[in-house]
Homo-oligomer: A and B are copies of this chain.
Amino acid sequence: MPELLSQAEENYLKAIYKVSRRDGTPVSNNAISVEMQTSAASVTDMINRLSQKGLLNYQKRRGVSLTEEGYATATHLVRKHRLWETFLVDKLQFSWDEVHELAEQLEHIQSRELVNRLDEYLGFPRYDPHGDPIPDAEGLMAERQQVALSQLPVGQLAVVVGVKDHTTPFLQYLERTGLLLGVQLRVSERLDYDNSLQLVLDQGTTLLVSQKVGQNLFVQLK
């Protein structure tokens, strides 16, 4: 039953999806208003409309959760967002730090057929340019056992598979330091003074990164 949703409604759904993935419990009005950068009053308003449409479970003052339909709709939005980002990087040669805002627009284009053809055109990619998994046409996506770089035991070989922080400055930092997806590394030393990490990369080059960087990079054990 894909009712037509406005872009505003879609953005709220996506925000609720995003916040609820972080913990799992019902999402507070407040968390949504922070994520959406709107007033709490606007959130209450929109929550009422979305639960009216059967996309949210909502009890006054007890938080909201996505219904089955709301979850599917949000997942489809994520699918579109990540496929468009992949298109922009793979086909139009955009850099991975330039595509998010564009995908925020493109994700609202309405056409299942277009999304599926785009998916096929891109070769059914499983991850987007930031390493985030792309849901398939049924809404299923890969779940990777990944860990923050800051949690990686010293000496353990691992490979960079994703970013937690998607902002342009962080992505450009990674670009300049060569700490990109697919790079293999190990932590050679953890410096107690400021929790910075001494890394040894692929070809033996070394790199010192701050705690903040370590917390925002996802790696997979090798």
Contacts and interface: CB of A to CB of B under 8 A. Distances in A.
A34 interface: no
Interface in A95-119: 98, 102, 105-106, 109-111, 113-114, 117-118
A8 interface: no
A86 to B, nearest CB: 14
Contacts of A118: 92
Contacts of A117: 92-94
B106 A92 contact: no
A105 B109 contact: yes
A21 interface: no
Quick one: copies of this chain in the complex?
2
- What is the size category of the interface that chain A forms with chain B? 10 to 19
B121 A110 contact: no
A97 B114 CA distance: 14
A8 to B, nearest CB: 13
Contacts of A105: 109-111
A27 to B, nearest CB: 30
A144 interface: no
A111 B102 contact: yes
A222 interface: no
A60 interface: no
Interface in A47-96: 88, 91-94
A93 B118 CA distance: 10
Max chain B C-beta neighbours (<10 A), residue from A114, A117, A121: A114
A120 to B, nearest CB: 8
A105 B110 CA distance: 8
A60 B117 CA distance: 48
Interface in A154-192: none
Nearest to A118: B92
17 contacts: A88-B114, A91-B121, A92-B114, A92-B117, A92-B118, A92-B121, A93-B117, A94-B113, A94-B117, A98-B113, A102-B109, A102-B111, A102-B114, A105-B109, A105-B110, A105-B111, A106-B109
